[in-house]
Amino acid sequence: MSYAQRSTLSFSTRELLDLAAAWIVLSVAFALLLSREPAVGGIDPTELVRMTGLSVVTVGVGFLSHELAHKIVAIRFDQIAVFKADYSMLFIALLSAMVGFLFAAPGAVYHRGRLTARQNGLIALAGPLTNQALAAVFFTLILVHDTVGAPGIVREIGQLGLWINLFLAAFNMIPWGPLDGATVKRWNTSVFVLVFVPSLLAALYIMFVVGI
C-alpha cells in the first residue's frame, strides 16, 4: 500500500457500523444512568427518551470526535488506523447503567506501522485534547443561554456536553493500562502532567461543586 493510500481518511462499512453502534449504545447507557430515579427505584420513560437525545449530541459527539482524532493523527503519521468496537463491553455498559453506575470501554482505534515514542504519544494525546476543545465549545452554549436568553435546552446541552467532555479527557488521561494517559506519560511526563492535572481538576470541580 502506498503512502498516499495510507494517508487518506477513509472508513470501511464495518468500521462505520462499529462507530455507529458505539455511539448509539453509549448514548443510551448514559441516558439510562442520568434518567434513573433512585427514590422510586425506576426509570421515567419520558425522561429516558429526552436524555437519549441529549446524550446523542453530547456523549456521542464527544466519543466520536475522540476516536476520529486518534485516527486522523495516526494517519498523519502514515499508520493504517481503524476503529473497532468491543461489543461485549458495550453490552456491559448497558447492564451497568441499568443498575446505577457506568463502566464504558466501547472500543478503540487500532493502528499499525512504525512509530517513534513521540508519534505514539501525539496520537494518544489527540483524543483528550479534542475533548478539552469540545468542552470549551459546549461552555459557549451556556454563555449564549445566560447572555442572550436562548432556550433552556441550549443550556442543558451545554452543561452535559461540558461535563462529559471534561470527564472523557480526564478519564482517558489516567496513566494506566491501555488508556491514553499511559502512552502520553511514557513519551513525555511534562506533557502528561500539563494535560492530565487540569483535566482532572476541572472534571472533579464540575462533578462535586457545580453538579450536572
* Three-state secondary structure string covering 49-86: HHHHHHHHCCHHHHHHHHHHHHHHHHHHCCCEEEEEEC
Give the Cα separation of 10 and 74 in Å (integer).
13
| pLDDT(3) > 70 | no
Q: Which of 15, 37, 47, 67 is catalytic?
A: 67
Q: Are 184 and 124 in contact, with CB atoms under 8 Å apart?
A: yes
- What pLDDT is recorded for position 8? 80
Question: What confidence score (pLDDT) does residue 1 get?
Answer: 39
Mean pLDDT (the chain, rounded): 89
Catalytic residue flag (residue 15): no
> Of residues 141 and 99, which shows the higher confidence score?
141
Cα separation, 62 vs 85, whole angstroms: 16
Continuous H helices in 77-151 = 87-98, 117-148
What size, in residues, is the chain? Answer: 212
pLDDT, tens only, 113-162:
889 999 999 999 999 999 999 999 999 999 998 888 778 899 999 999 99
> Residue 36 has what pLDDT?
72
Is residue 176 helix, strand or coil?
coil
pLDDT interval class at 190 (50, 70, 90): very high
Would you give the distance in Å from CA 76 to the centre of its chain?
21
At a CB cut-off of 8 Å and minimum separation 6, what does 89 contact?
104, 105, 106, 107
Which tens digit of pLDDT belongs to each residue from 163-188?
Answer: 999 999 999 999 998 899 999 999 99
Which range scores top for mean pLDDT: 42-46, 53-57, 103-107, 204-208?
Answer: 53-57
Domain ranges within the chain, ordered by starting residue? 11-114, 115-211
Q: 7-31 in b/e burial notation, b at 16+ Cβ within 10 A?
A: eeeeeeeebeebbeebbebbbbbbb
What is the distance between the alpha carbons of residues 126 and 117, in angstroms, rounded to a whole number?
14
pTM tops 0.85, yes or no: yes
AA letter at 39? A
